[in-house]
């Protein structure tokens, strides 16, 4: 594949490809798939059945995604940088891995995995910071046919343990310590704690990222640097069926346990690559930077798999936007002459609050495309991004998608199709959208507002929830007949442009992190003084949304600041610091319907100080609590 083979170059081309993708989806995706390296071609492009929520793409085809991400580039790009790594500390040495070097490292580590008994289909948990070894371990896992489950390195021991247990990971790969801005965090000790409750793990490989001593449990823990010493830098890539598992990635849902979304080898690869090339309009020689963490789907698809399969140079940043100061992003753009920059609205809003001189003092003239993802972007942030980062020269791609969709679904194509502030705009080729009304009917009129659904399967969709296909069916395919339900609300304007209005379920997006309220409520309910908890989101200037917890205490307990701290600590240790509520309000009761369901609508209004219209409270079982909720507001 040359990059331009998969790129659309004009609005007309977009329209005609879109048309073809709707009329002949199989031909369209087969055409895209032709551009990749297959060990064996498919027997059938698509086989599906909405009833059982079963979707199979490129059945019978054989491939290994790492041959597409690495081996195929050795002919023409061996010396080209594959990964440019910028460390947390701006004065520490950066690292640049050419395609040839990355290939060697991945082969070495593949041999290590095989030496340690890892076989096709085994699950491996990766709990690591943003260092090249994370990419190497991820790709090596794919090369030997194992299934990686990357857990964001901000999650707590309890959260890792439940994820490891859910998919019975055999191995855990981590580091001794990680840096996060000015902080150093001992990941190994968090792992040691987690492993007490995760007995499926037989081996732990530790990469010593700092000089700190590593606590080693003999017989279980091994050191990365010792293992890679004497292994060959050649390793056969396992032959994988297009429908074999590539990875599991956990995402929160509106009920209890996180969902292990499963992505498979073939369809995911072509989806991530096709969307990467078209949305960002990456060109030969460009430097592309996505600021996400590889622990989230954005990092999987748009730091690793999409860019590498396309033969791009992808920048990986270990640190945070505010360290050593809030000019760090712009400094990195200037340092590496970044051409495409992809970040989240929460980061833009945080940097927008800082001194303009931090951005104005940097040379950002290399930038060609700006991207945003993760939550709706507000008009002010969009305009600031456009003006101060893009100097009104760069198109902004507002990309809507989800862990479940595997790749971008709605976005403009940089410089090719039109943009509109706060709108994700148009579906990519292959994506058939529907807006659904309250009664579950599709709204056919051009202008519409309702719930966002997808009417036809696409290759990069998650195929199941690990170990729980019924939940997959229920969450995504039961709201509307023969459609995938996204959980988001959306509107469509006169031109057919889509704007995402936010979640319509009990998931709140805080600083771009998707947080189900149920697991946080469960965590707080574990406190011995707590009877019941309800959590809702409320608008927050920088985070987009923040969490407000309404907590009922046992009768004999007196509310105190100490209790507030204990509850926050409990959430932090059970889920992770990102899930800590901003506000904790102790209440005498929660508004409930007669069937016992909490009326979150009322709590949302109270949390966002919108008391003007609380709606009909007469159907409540206990209307009197509303007054108390308002009076005890924090
Ligand atoms: C939810 C999915 C997809 C990568 C990061 C998040 C929200 C995502 C946008 C956007 C408005 C967006 C949706 C979606 N979202 N992108 N451009 N505009 N909202 O992945 O954690 O699976 O979250 O993020 O609500 O459902 P995720």
pLDDT at 254 (0 to 100): 64
Q: Name the pTM for this structure.
A: 0.93
Evaluate: CB of 424 within 6 angstroms of ligand 1. Answer: yes
Q: Which atom of ligand 1 is nearest to the CA of 297?
A: 4
Nearest to 550 by CA among 516, 521, 515, 513: 521
3-state DSSP assignment of residue 426: coil
Q: Please state the φ and ψ torsions of residue 122, each to the nearest 5 degrees.
A: -70, 145
Evaluate: CB of 267 within 6 angstroms of ligand 1. Answer: no
pLDDT at 618 (0 to 100): 73
Q: How close are the terminal C-alpha atoms of the chain, in Å?
A: 58
pLDDT at 614 (0 to 100): 81
Our mutation pick for probing the ligand 1 site, out of 150, 345, 349, 401, counting the most ligand atoms within 8 A of Cβ, is: 401
Say if residues 411 and 397 touch (Cβ distance below 8 Å).
yes
Cis ω before 533 (30° cut-off from 0): no
HSE, CB side, 13 Å, CA atoms: give it for residue 358.
17
H helix count then E strand count, the chain: 21, 30
- Cα 40 from chain centroid (whole Å): 31
Say if residues 270 and 29 touch (Cβ distance below 8 Å).
yes
Nearest to 100 by CA among 78, 70, 67: 78
Give CA separation, 1 vs 57, 126, 287, 523, in Å: 20, 30, 19, 49
Say if residues 102 and 136 touch (Cβ distance below 8 Å).
yes
Q: What is the residue with the minimal CA distance to atom 5 of ligand 1?
A: 374
pLDDT in tens, 456-490: 999 999 999 999 999 999 999 999 999 999 999 99
pLDDT at 255 (0 to 100): 65
pLDDT at 523 (0 to 100): 93
Say if residues 368 and 284 touch (Cβ distance below 8 Å).
no
544 Rama sector, left if φ>0, alpha if ψ -120 to 50, beta otherwise: left
pLDDT at 256 (0 to 100): 64
User: What's the CATH class of domain 506-631?
Assistant: alpha beta
Cβ count near 611 (within 10 Å)? 11
Say if residues 200 and 108 touch (Cβ distance below 8 Å).
no
Low-confidence residues of the chain: pLDDT under 50: none
Tell me the two tokens of residue 384. 């600031």
CA distance 460 to 514: 20
pLDDT at 593 (0 to 100): 77
CA distance 47 to 59: 8
Say if residues 94 and 132 touch (Cβ distance below 8 Å).
no
Strands 530-540 and 544-553: antiparallel
CA distance 271 to 493: 27
HSE, CB side, 13 Å, CA atoms: give it for residue 376.
20
Evaluate: CB of 505 within 6 angstroms of ligand 1. Answer: no
3-98+243-490 shares its CATH topology with 506-631: no
Strands 171-175 and 203-207: parallel
Our mutation pick for probing the ligand 1 site, out of 497, 514, 543, 578, counting the most ligand atoms within 8 A of Cβ, is: 514
**Which residue stretches of 201-294 are H helix?**
224-227, 265-280
CA distance 109 to 141: 9
Tell me the two tokens of residue 126. 């990766």
Domain spans of the chain? 3-98+243-490, 506-631
pLDDT in tens, 348-377: 999 998 999 999 999 999 999 999 999 999
198 CB contacts (<8 Å, ≥6 apart)?
160, 161, 164, 165, 169, 172
Evaluate: CB of 488 within 6 angstroms of ligand 1. Answer: yes
Cross-strand bridge partners of residue 372: 343, 398
CA distance 436 to 486: 11
Q: Which atom of ligand 1 is nearest to the CA of 252?
A: 21
Give the sheet arrangement for strand 171-175, strand by strand: 221-223, 203-207, 171-175, 123-127, 147-150, 245-251, 259-264, 464-465
- Domain 3-98+243-490 homologous superfamily, CATH: ANL, N-terminal domain (3.40.50.12780)
Evaluate: CB of 295 within 6 angstroms of ligand 1. Answer: no
Residue whose structure tokens are 């924090």:
634
Our mutation pick for probing the ligand 1 site, out of 155, 373, 475, counting the most ligand atoms within 8 A of Cβ, is: 373
The CA 376 to ligand 1 mean position distance, Å, reads 8
Question: Would you report the helix, strand and coil content of the chain in percent, each value rounded to 5?
Answer: 30, 25, 40
Largest CA distance in the chain: 73
Exposed, middle or buried by CB within 10 Å (0-12, 13-18, 19+), for 627?
exposed
Evaluate: CB of 412 within 6 angstroms of ligand 1. Answer: no
314 CB contacts (<8 Å, ≥6 apart)?
82, 83, 84, 288, 289, 290, 303, 304, 307, 308
Residue whose structure tokens are 């977009």:
14
Say if residues 462 and 406 touch (Cβ distance below 8 Å).
yes
Q: Which atom of ligand 1 is nearest to the CA of 514?
A: 21
CA distance 143 to 543: 38
């Amino acid at each position: 594949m040359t990059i331009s083979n998969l790129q659309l170059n004009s609005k007309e081309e977009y329209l005609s490809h879109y048309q073809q993708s709707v009329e002949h989806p199989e031909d369209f995706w087969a055409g895209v798939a032709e551009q990749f390296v297959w060990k064996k071609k498919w027997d059938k492009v698509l086989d599906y059945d909405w009833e059982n929520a079963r979707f199979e793409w490129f059945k019978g085809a054989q491939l290994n995604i790492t041959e597409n991400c690495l081996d195929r580039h050795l002919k023409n790009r061996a010396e080209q940088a594959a990964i440019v790594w910028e460390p947390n500390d701006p004065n520490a040495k950066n690292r640049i891995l050419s395609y040839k070097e990355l290939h060697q490292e991945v082969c070495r580590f593949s041999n290590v995995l095989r030496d340690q008994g890892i076989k096709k289909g085994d699950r491996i948990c990766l709990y690591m910071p943003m260092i090249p070894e994370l990419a190497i371990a991820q790709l090596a896992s794919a090369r030997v046919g194992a299934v990686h489950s990357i857990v964001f390195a901000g999650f707590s021991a309890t959260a890792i343990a439940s994820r490891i247990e859910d998919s019975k990971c055999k191995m855990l790969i981590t580091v001794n310590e990680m840096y996060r801005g000015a902080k150093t965090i001992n990941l190994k000790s968090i792992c040691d704690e987690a492993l007490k409750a995760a007995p499926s793990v037989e081996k732990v490989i530790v990469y010593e990222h700092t000089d700190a001593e590593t606590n080693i449990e003999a017989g279980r823990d091994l050191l990365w640097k010792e293992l890679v010493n004497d292994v060959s830098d050649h390793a056969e890539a396992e032959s994988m069926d297009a429908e074999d598992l590539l990875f599991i990635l956990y995402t929160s849902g509106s009920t209890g346990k996180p969902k292990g979304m499963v992505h498979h080898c073939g369809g995911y690869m072509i989806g991530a690559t096709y969307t990467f090339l078209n949305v960002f309009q990456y060109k030969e020689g460009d430097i592309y930077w996505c600021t996400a963490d590889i622990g989230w789907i954005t990092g999987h698809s748009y730091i690793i798999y999409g860019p590498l399969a396309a033969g791009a140079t992808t920048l990986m940043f270990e640190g945070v936007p505010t360290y050593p100061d809030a000019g760090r992003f712009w400094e990195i753009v200037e340092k590496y002459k970044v051409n495409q920059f992809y970040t989240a609205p929460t980061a833009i809003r945080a940097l927008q609050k800082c001194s303009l001189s931090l951005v104005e003092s940097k040379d950002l003239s290399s930038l060609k495309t700006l991207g945003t993802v993760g939550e709706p972007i507000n008009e002010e942030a969009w305009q600031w991004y456009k003006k101060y980062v893009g100097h009104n020269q760069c198109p902004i791609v507002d990309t809507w998608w989800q862990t479940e969709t595997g790749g971008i679904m709605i976005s403009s194509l940089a410089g090719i199709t039109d943009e509109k502030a706060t709108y994700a705009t148009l579906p990519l080729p292959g994506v058939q959208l529907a807006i659904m009304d309250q009664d579950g009917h599709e709204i056919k009129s051009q202008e519409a507002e309702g719930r966002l659904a997808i009417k036809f399967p696409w290759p990069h969709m998650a195929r199941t929830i690990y170990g729980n296909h019924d939940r997959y069916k229920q969450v995504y395919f039961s709201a509307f007949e023969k459609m995938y339900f996204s959980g988001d609300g959306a509107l469509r304007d006169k031109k057919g442009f889509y704007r995402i209005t936010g979640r319509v379920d009990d998931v709140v997006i805080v600083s771009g992190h998707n947080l189900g309220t149920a697991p946080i409520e469960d965590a707080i309910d574990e406190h011995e003084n707590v009877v019941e908890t309800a959590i809702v989101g409320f608008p927050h200037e920088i985070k987009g949304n923040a969490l407000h917890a309404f907590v009922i205490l046992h009768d004999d307990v007196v509310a105190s600041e100490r209790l507030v701290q204990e509850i926050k600590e409990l959430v932090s240790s059970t889920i992770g610091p990102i899930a800590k509520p901003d506000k904790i309000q102790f209440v005498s009761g929660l508004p409930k319907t007669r069937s016992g369901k909490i009326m979150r609508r009322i709590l949302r209004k109270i949390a966002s100080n919108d008391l003007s219209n609380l709606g009909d409270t007469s159907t409540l079982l206990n209307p009197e609590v509303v007054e108390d909720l308002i009076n005890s507001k924090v």
